[in-house]
Amino acid sequence: MLFNGHALSKSAVDERTVVRRTMRVAVKSVFGNLLVLLVVSNLLAVGQCRSDIIDGIVNSTYDDVVSRGNAHVYEFTWSLATDSSGNGTHPLRLTVSSNATDENHLTIVVRSELSVLSWAVPFAVEGGLGDYMNSSRTICPDLSNVTGSGANQTVFVDVSTASSVTISYSLVANLVEDFTLVTGQPLDVELTPSGPLYYQYKFEEDDDYMRVVIESNGSSPGCGIVSLQEALCPVYDLARDIQYSGAYQTFTTSAAVVVQRRSIRSDSLYVVLLGLSDDGRCDEKFQQQFIDKTDGGERVRGGEYYTKSVSIKVVKVTQEYWMPVLVTLAIFLGFYVLTALALTLRFCHRSNRSLTLGGFLFGTAVDSTGVSHANGKGGQDSPNSPSATRLLSGSERQYGAVEVETGGPTNNEPRVTSVAVDGEPSDGETSSERSGGQQLEEPSCLPGTGFSKLFSTTGRIVSVAEICQSSPAVLDKQLSSYPWLIGLVGIFYGLPVMQLVYNYQTILNLTGNQDLCFYNFRCIRRLGGLSAFNNVFSNIGYILLGILFFLLTLRRQRLYLHKAALDPHFRQCMGLPQHFGLFYALGLALCMEGVMSGCYHVCPTAVNFQFDTSFMYMIACVSLLHMYQNRHPDVVLHAHKPMVVIAFIVLCVVIGVLGNGLVFWIVFFMVYLAASACLHLHLYYSTMHNLMESVREVRRKRSFRPVRYPRRFLLLVLSSLLNLGLAIDGVAEQPSNFPSFILNVLMGNLFFYLFYYVVMKICHREKFRHLTIVFLLLMVGFGVPAFYFFQRNVSDWGDSPSESRKLNSDCILLGFYDNHDVWHFFSAVALFFYSLVLMTIDDPLSSVSRDSIVSW
């Protein structure tokens, strides 16, 4: 054998082998002795910290001390069921208090067949506002063995510490007597941040939807959280994990959580309650603390200092939707039936029936012989006939009524002129026509007075005929763009809105965080994926009545075309020149208000607040424009200009919500007054040119002239005072719901101008139709209760979710609708009758010469 290049003898090899074996045995002996010593030491250590299992007795208090080498183990066995039916379940609740500190804390571990529950004393609360020296937890019961002989449950409670300092503690195990909730029977409990509670509700056979209502007793302060979870172990009952199971809400004074039976796999659920140590999750504006008293600037521990008394009640929610839904549809569809009956009765009382009943109802402009009227003689129109005027439909008819003429006054090209009527066609003879196939000349009501006369005569009463000098075709084209623009805005605005609220509803359903949406939780009716189907469906009135007004406008337009074809003099010289584009825009805006309000109520939040108000702004602006344009036919704005104004209003609303404060209100006050002053100057002078002329005249003569236009000046003075008062009220109150404030401003101006319009008609002895008076009374009759219910808020996204729930109230109509739903109904009807007032208020002027109608 070679070793390092040298040969070794056999004796040398044997000697080396013996040495190696001897060394190996010695090493094994040393390691064996060390291993034995280690095992023995561990056994001795275990023997030192080992404690015999203590047989725990329910309702007994155990006061003892523990240290690093001394742990206590308690075994509790008790019966979950009080009777064989299992209706009464009594889980175990442990309460532990100790003098432990953050550095030397006490650990409690509860072991059962279903779960392991552990926590420490001092009990750390959410937000780091302090720790509690006592805590209590409910042990999750085994509900599968509640009945029969298997009702007993056993748990082991380990009390230990890693501190070398001796820690004293007190432990007591009690049975939860009223663990099972009964429908309709309230249960009073006390909440603390260190003592989460939960109770069982066992579903009955006829349960479908259940509402768990939490009410604070008396003036109990503090913030709490409630969660509905499936009856499984473990139970998520701490502030850091309660949101991971079921649906939950924060609350201060009240909460209401709705649960659907089929969403729970087991036959029961847990209602989990927890008091929070601060108001951070209930109201971020006020971080009020409840848990600690102060002593010389130091916080004194003690969970007993904060308790919150609440009452729990489970109520069944009716799911009979068909009755309130059918009643609602019947009422609003009844407006269609009443309209048809009213028109039929009016047709029966007409002495001279130039139209059939169908033609009168639908405005088809067909006489009793079935021949379409076009030239006043019942003959068929010839498109090339110079004197013929034909009714246009389809792509030839815009939203304003139009007719085609040849041989215009300025050129030989065909031109389009608008025709309008403020009332329905009256029976009578047509104006004289030239015979012999000669071209029909347009009747002239006044000499060419020109638009400037309105601004050149001080204090003189100006007629509408003097103002109406612009081409009707131009005016009609401008006004007919309003409904198209509103429709396009509705489409491009509505589609992203629907996508957004759908995502909101999906997130709410997936996370169970019911603080996301500001519902009236005491009166929400779920249907499919919609949490508040009743709040969404109650907007159907806006849509149905908006469609009805749209159809009435279409009928009115067709009847006017029939009248205009029979009597060109009526079209040119009688009544107020009116264009139907604004009426169509009003009907579309009313429909879109219903759609957008329904989208908003899918999940009302501070983010989508403008969905509910944008088209209300449009309704107000279009209505104001229509009333002003009635007496100032030439003062017509292109549709994009009012839309820019509305967009600016929405922008201000967004800023007002996001940055509501004193600085914002001061800036808003100055901007509001400046915009109001500019608008009133524009209305007074009508054009910037006239304003500059007046300024130059003042500079030239160095003196102010008397008021040129007294009526308009009176209107603007009263309007300025109104807007100044609204602005001052806004700065003084600084309401958090800024969109509602802006809506009140617009509606206030709208109804003020309507009031002024009615007063001016009375002063000038203009007649009213009896039907218009009825519409006006109905508008007021429905508008006053609408305003009342609008003020009775059932939620407020300007506050925190828990503060908003203070306003929640029970259903007040058919067990299905709340205050806000009733506001939807009354306001929809009030706006419908308001639209009819605008449509018919000047009907008696249709038989009055235009040069006798006063402009104001």
ω into 234 cis (within 30 of 0): yes
The pLDDT value recorded for residue 374 is 38
The pLDDT value recorded for residue 704 is 56
| Contact between 127 and 190 (Cβ < 8 Å) | no
Q: Rounded to an integer, what distance in angstroms lies between the CA atom of residue 441 and that of residue 381?
A: 18
What is the block-wise mean pLDDT of the chain (856 residues), using blocks of 10 residues? 40 46 49 45 44 82 87 87 61 89 87 86 69 86 67 87 88 89 89 88 84 81 86 87 87 88 85 83 52 36 60 85 92 94 82 68 56 39 35 34 31 34 37 37 44 42 70 72 87 89 90 90 88 93 95 87 73 76 92 93 86 88 86 75 85 82 87 85 66 64 63 81 89 83 88 87 86 92 92 85 88 91 95 93 83 77
In sequence order, which residues have a C-beta less than 8 Å from that of residue 441 and are 6 or more positions away? 434
The pLDDT value recorded for residue 147 is 60
Cα separation values, 419 from 27, 267, 398, 400, 580, Å: 118, 70, 12, 8, 9
Q: Which amino acid is at 675?
A: A
The pLDDT value recorded for residue 475 is 72
Q: Rounded to an integer, what distance in angstroms lies between the CA atom of residue 538 and that of residue 705?
A: 55
Q: Rounded to an integer, what distance in angstroms lies between the CA atom of residue 562 and that of residue 566?
A: 7
Q: Show the tokens assigned to 515.
A: 């603080």
In sequence order, which residues have a C-beta less than 8 Å from that of residue 845 and are 6 or more positions away? 422, 423, 575, 576, 766, 853
Q: Rounded to an integer, what distance in angstroms lies between the CA atom of residue 838 and that of residue 772?
A: 9
What angle, rounded to 10 degrees, do the helices at 738-763 and 614-631 form? 20
The pLDDT value recorded for residue 395 is 33
Q: Rounded to an integer, what distance in angstroms lies between the CA atom of residue 296 and that of residue 299?
A: 8
